[in-house]
Structure 1
Amino acid sequence: MKKTTLLNQALSEVVAGMGHGDLLVIGDYGLPCPKGVRRIDLALRPGIPAFLDVVETILAELQVEAAVVARETAERNPAVQEGLTRLLGGVPVTTVSHEELKEISARAVALVRTGECTPYANVILRAGVTF
């Protein structure tokens, strides 16, 4: 039985298979999944699992060199923005429009849908290397 933090099999497979520069999207319940991008749906009911809980769990497993967040997040969802800032620590964050974030999502290895039902609770993580 797996001992590390991330227990979801599909998500573990995606993280383990990511290479340097690959993108992983973690999104709220309403973020559309682009055609051709694998969707890992964790949503059980509104709010479960919470976006920041999923981000925290993935960050424990994935080496991240950069992140992308929608500009609108800071104004429309300051709690999520503050949580992302705390969780990402020194990871460089690029802000783009929400529409641009959705366009970039089309290049992701996978999109993780959470149960988060607050606006602009989305982030794109770019995999780094551990050496």
Structure 2
Amino acid sequence: MKKNTLLNAELSYVIATLGHTDEITICDAGLPVPEESQRIDLALVQGIPTFIDTVKATLSEMQIEGVIVAKEFKTVSPQLHDALMSLIHLEEELRGKPITVSYTPHEEFKVHTRNSKAIVRTGECTPYANVIFQSGVVF
């Protein structure tokens, strides 16, 4: 049995196969997932798993260098946005490397998800609770 935090086989595999600058999306229950994208559906019921719990589990194994979120996230759901940004700042401190945060309109965000190696759907029902992580390197 896997000893590290992340037990979901699909998500663990995707993270293990990421190269530098590859992207994955973690999204709320309502974000449309393009047909051509790999869908990792973790949603069980409303709120389970949460967006933040999924982000924490992902960051436990993924090195990131960039983050993309919708501009609307910051104003429509500020508490969850701030919780995400706190995790990003903590990640910067732990890794000793800066992480670039970019904001884009939600419609552009949805188009950008097509570049993701996988889209991870949570049970989160908070508006705009979506993030694209760009893979970094550990050296």
Q: Structure 2 length normalisation: TM-score?
A: 0.92
1:119 aligns with 2:121: no
Identity of matched residues, %: 49
Q: 1:39–1:110: 8 Å Cα contact kept in structure 2?
A: yes
1:73-95 CA-partner distances (Å, limit 9, x unpaired): 01110111101110111421000
Give the Cα separation in 1 of the matches to 2:18 and 2:72: 28
For structure 2, the 5+ residue unaligned runs are 93-98
1:97-127 CA-partner distances (Å, limit 9, x unpaired): 0011101100110000000011000000000
Q: 1:74–1:81: 8 Å Cα contact kept in structure 2?
A: yes
Structure 1 stretches of 4+ with a deviation exceeding 4 A read none
Alignment partner for residue 102 of structure 1, among 88, 92, 110?
110
Give the Cα separation in 1 of the matches to 2:4 and 2:114: 29
Cα deviation for residue 39 of structure 1 reads 0.3
Letter of the 2:88 counterpart: L
Cα deviation for residue 9 of structure 1 reads 0.5
Where is the helix percentage greater, Structure 1 or Structure 2?
2
- Equivalenced residue count is 131
Cross-structure match for 2:95? none
For structure 1, the 5+ residue unaligned runs are none
For residue 103 of structure 2, give the secondary structure of its aligned residue in structure 1. Answer: strand
Cross-structure match for 1:71? 71
Give the Cα separation in 2 of the matches to 1:26 and 1:80: 14
Cross-structure match for 2:26? 26
Give the Cα separation in 1 of the matches to 2:80 and 2:119: 18
Letter of the 1:22 counterpart: D
Cross-structure match for 1:44? 44
Give the Cα separation in 2 of the matches to 1:80 and 1:96: 17
